[in-house]
Amino acid sequence: MQSNIKYSAARIARLGRKGCDTMESLGRAGIFLAQSAVGVPSREGWSLWLRQMHFVGVLSLAIVLVSGLFIGMVLALQGYTILVDFGAEQALGQMVALSLLRELAPVVAALLFAGRAGSALTAEIGLMKATEQLTSMEMIGVDPLRRVVAPRLWAGFVSLPILTIGFSVVGIWGGYLVGVEWLGVFEGSYWSNMQASVSFINDIGNGIIKSLVFALVVTWIAVFQGYDLVPTSEGISRATTRTVVYSSLAVLGLDFVLTAVMFGGL
Amino acid sequence: MKRSKTMEFGVGLFMLVGILGLVFLGLRVSGMTLSAPSDTFRVEANFSNIGGLKPRARVTMAGVTVGRVEAIELDPEWYDARVVLRLNSDLEGQLSRDTTAAILTAGLLGEQYIGLSIGGDPDVLEDGDIIRDTQSALVLEELIQQFISNMVSN
C-alpha cells in the first residue's frame, strides 16, 4: 500500500516535471525567436544572409522544382481520369491550379524544405554548439544569435515563399504537359477555366501567406533545435530527427488551421 | 568576409525566379489584366430567384463576357434578390433601358451566369440604373414539380 502511493506520487511528479520542461523549452524558443529576429542585417550581416540564401534557397530549388513537376503531372493524370467520367475534363486546369496554389505547393514545398534545409541547419548549428564555437563567439564578444542564427532565420523566411511560387508554376506547367499535350484536353479551356476560377488575392495570396507561416515555423524549429540541443553526437542526431518530425507535424497541423480560417469560412 | 560573385549571382537569379513566377501566376493563372478596375459601371437587377448564382459569376451578352456579378443581397422591400452587376464601361450609354437580364446555366450542370439581351428603347442605361425586365433562374426541382402536376391534371 505504502509503496503503491509512493510509486504513484513519483509518476505524478515525473509528469509535472515533463510539463514544466516542455513549457520552459517553449519559452526559450519564444525568447530565442524574439532575440534573433531583431538581428537587423548590417553590411556584414547582409553577406552572411546572402550565403545562407544560397545554401537554403538556391540549392533547394532543384528538388522543389522537380517534385513540383511530378506533382502537377500526377494531379493532371488523376484528375483527368475522374473528370472524364463526368464529361468535365475541361475543368482540369482549374482543378490542377487550385489544388496546387491553395494546398499542395505550400505544404509539399515546406515538407521538402524541412527535410532538405531544416535538418542541415540543425546539424550545422548543433555541431557549432558541440564544438563550442558558439561559446567562443560569445567569449570574443560576438553575439551568436546575430551572427549565426539571424541570417539563417531570415534566409529561410524569404526563400520558402519563393520556392513555393516556383513549385506552383512548375506544377501547373506539368499539369499542362500531361493534360493538354498527352491526354488531349483542349488548350484554350485548360487556361481559360483556370483564369476564370483562380483569384489572385484569395488563392495565390492565401497560398503565399500559408508559405510565409510555414517558412517561419520550419526555420524557427530548425535553428532552435540546433541551438538548444545536448552537445553530443547523439544529441545532434536526435535534434535533427526532431527538427524533421516537429516541422512536418507543425506544417500539417497549421495547414488545417489556416485552411479552415482562409477557405472554410471560420 | 569573402563574397563570391557566383553566389551573389545565384541568389539574385533565385529572387528573380520568384518574382517572375509571381507575375506568371498573376497574369497567366489568375487571368489578371493590367487595366485599372475602375473602367466599369454599375447596374442593378432584381430577380425573384437567383438559383445558384454566385458573386464573380460572368455577365454575358450574345455569349461574350461583358462584366461580372459584384454582389448579391436580399432586397427586404420585395423579398427578392438584388444583384449588382459591374459592366465594362465601353457599354455605358449603349444598352437600352429595356435590356433584359436572365440567369442562364452553362451546360446541364454547369455554373450559372447572367445573359443580357438588348431591347429597343431609345433611352439608355447609366451608372446605377436598375434593369426592370428580368428572368429568374431555372430551378430544376420546380420544373419537375410543374411537369408532374401537369401530368396528373391531364
Model ipTM? Answer: 0.76
pLDDT of residue A258: 94
Residue B17's alpha-carbon distances to A21, A162, A176, B108, B138, in angstroms, are 43, 8, 20, 42, 48
What count of other Cβ atoms lies within 10 Å of the Cβ of residue B53? 21
Q: Which of B1, B3, B32 sits opposite A200 (nearest CB)?
A: B32
Residue A196 within any structural domain of the chain = yes
Using CA atoms, how far apart are residues A249 and A257, in angstroms rounded to an integer?
Answer: 12
Residue A104 within any structural domain of the chain = yes
Residue B143's alpha-carbon distances to B137, B139, B140, B146, B149, in angstroms, are 11, 6, 5, 5, 10
Which three-class secondary structure state does DSSP give residue B122? coil
pTM: 0.76
Q: What is the DSSP string of A125-167?
A: HHHHHHTTHHHHHHHTT--HIIIIIHHHHHHHHHHHHHHHHHH
Report the candidate in A211, A261, A203 with the shortest Cα–Cα distance to residue A106: A211
Question: Do A203 and B30 make contact, defined as CB atoms within 8 angstroms?
Answer: yes
- Flag the least confident range among A196-205, A235-244, B31-40: B31-40
Closest Cα of chain B to A22: distance in Å? 38
Helix, strand and coil percent figures for chain A, each rounded to 5: 90, 0, 10
Residues 86-105 of A with CB under 8 A from B: 97, 101
pLDDT of residue B1: 47
Using CA atoms, how far apart are residues B152 and A206, in angstroms rounded to an integer?
Answer: 53
Q: Give me the residue spans of the domains in chain B.
A: 1-34, 40-141
Question: Are the C-beta atoms of A127 and A236 separated by less than 8 Å?
Answer: yes
pLDDT of residue A266: 60
Q: Is A61 a residue whose pLDDT tops 60?
A: yes
Q: Which three cell numbers stand for residue A257?
A: 488551421
Domain count, chain A: 1
pLDDT of residue A90: 83
pLDDT band at A87 (very low <50, low <70, confident <90, very high): confident
**Which residue has better confidence, B107 or A103?**
A103
**DSSP classification of residue A184:** -
Question: Do A165 and B25 make contact, defined as CB atoms within 8 angstroms?
Answer: yes
Question: Are the C-beta atoms of B134 and B101 separated by less than 8 Å?
Answer: yes
Using CA atoms, how far apart are residues A215 and A160, in angstroms rounded to an integer?
Answer: 6
Using CA atoms, how far apart are residues A242 and B94, in angstroms rounded to an integer?
Answer: 67
| pLDDT tens, residue order, chain B (154 aa) | 455 788 888 888 898 999 999 888 888 888 776 655 557 888 999 998 888 888 778 888 998 888 888 888 998 888 899 999 988 888 888 888 888 999 988 766 677 889 999 888 888 888 888 888 888 888 888 889 999 999 988 7
Would you call A225 an interface residue with chain B, using a CB distance cutoff of 8 Å?
no
Report the candidate in A185, A184, A171 with the shortest Cα–Cα distance to residue A65: A171
If you count residue pairs, one on A and one on B, with CB atoms under 8 Å apart, how many are there?
71
List, for residues A106-122, the tens digit of each pLDDT value: 999 999 999 999 999 99
Closest Cα of chain B to A133: distance in Å? 18
A139: number of CA atoms within 13 Å, CB side? 5
Q: Is B8 left (phi over 0), alpha (psi -120 to 50) or beta?
A: alpha
Residue A39 within any structural domain of the chain = no
Q: Which domain holds residue A104?
A: 50-262
To the nearest whole number, what is the mean pLDDT of chain A?
A: 90
Closest Cα of chain A to B150: distance in Å? 31
List, for residues A132-186, the tens digit of each pLDDT value: 999 999 899 888 888 888 889 989 999 999 999 999 999 999 999 999 999 988 8
Residue A21 within any structural domain of the chain = no
Residue A172 within any structural domain of the chain = yes
Residue A36 within any structural domain of the chain = no
Which three-class secondary structure state does DSSP give residue B58? strand
